[in-house]
Amino acid sequence: MVLVDSVSRLVTGVVGNKSSIEDESFSYSKSGILKYPVYTRPEEYEGRAVPEVLLSGNHEEVEKWRNDAAVEITQKYRPDLINKDK
CA 69 vs. chain centroid, Å, equals: 10
Q: Is 35 a domain residue?
A: yes
pTM (predicted TM-score): 0.65
CA 52 vs. chain centroid, Å, equals: 17
Domain count, the chain: 1
CATH code (residue 43): 1.10.1270.20
86 pLDDT more than 60: no
Q: Are 33 and 81 in contact (CB under 8 A)?
A: yes
Give the per-residue pLDDT at 18: 59
Give the pLDDT band (50/70/90) at residue 62. Answer: very high
Q: Is 65 a domain residue?
A: yes
Question: Per this entry, what is the length of the chain?
Answer: 86
Q: Is 56 a domain residue?
A: yes
Give the per-residue pLDDT at 54: 95
- Tell me which residue range forms the domain holding 47: 24-86
pLDDT digits (tens, 9 = 90+) for 19-60: 566 666 555 555 788 889 989 889 999 999 999 999 999 999
Give the per-residue pLDDT at 47: 92
Q: Is 2 a domain residue?
A: no
* Cα gap 70→74, rounded to integer Å: 6
Q: Is 7 a domain residue?
A: no
Q: Is 13 a domain residue?
A: no
